[in-house]
Amino acid sequence: MEFCPSCGTLLQIDPGTGSHRLRFFCPICPYVCAGFRTRCLSPIRPIVRKAKLVKKEVEPIFSGDDAMKLAPQTEATCPRCGHGKAYFQQRQLRSADEPMTIFYMCCECSYNWKED
């Protein structure tokens, strides 16, 4: 699948005319990408474009060292080390009629976990 670099819409294929050339075109904006020959394409070999997957950097639940010092503590058992105290924060991740998600961070080993 190819997408329009201007608007992000799925590009369509125009079969071409006398010169036997295919082209991708955007049905919404005027973007056109030409350059495929019909004899190179067959029903067995689809058009494939490989792209390298770039992984997103994961941010910690508590951002910054100062946020940890200001977060309240509660009695919660850490699943990793078994320590009995943890910092916590509540965040509304889903719609307003859903319950809040509670994020914990162990005071001893800094392990993060959440409770829905």
Q: Is 33 annotated in some ligand binding site?
A: no
Is 4 labelled a binding residue? yes
Whether residue 26 is annotated as binding a ligand: the answer is yes
| 81 assigned ligand-binding residue | yes
Q: How far is CA 46 from the centre of its chain?
A: 26
Q: 107 among the known binding-site residues?
A: no
- Cα 106 to chain centroid distance, Å, stands at 27
Binding residues for Zn(2+): 4, 7, 26, 29, 78, 81, 106, 109
The annotation places the binding site at: 4, 7, 26, 29, 78, 81, 106, 109
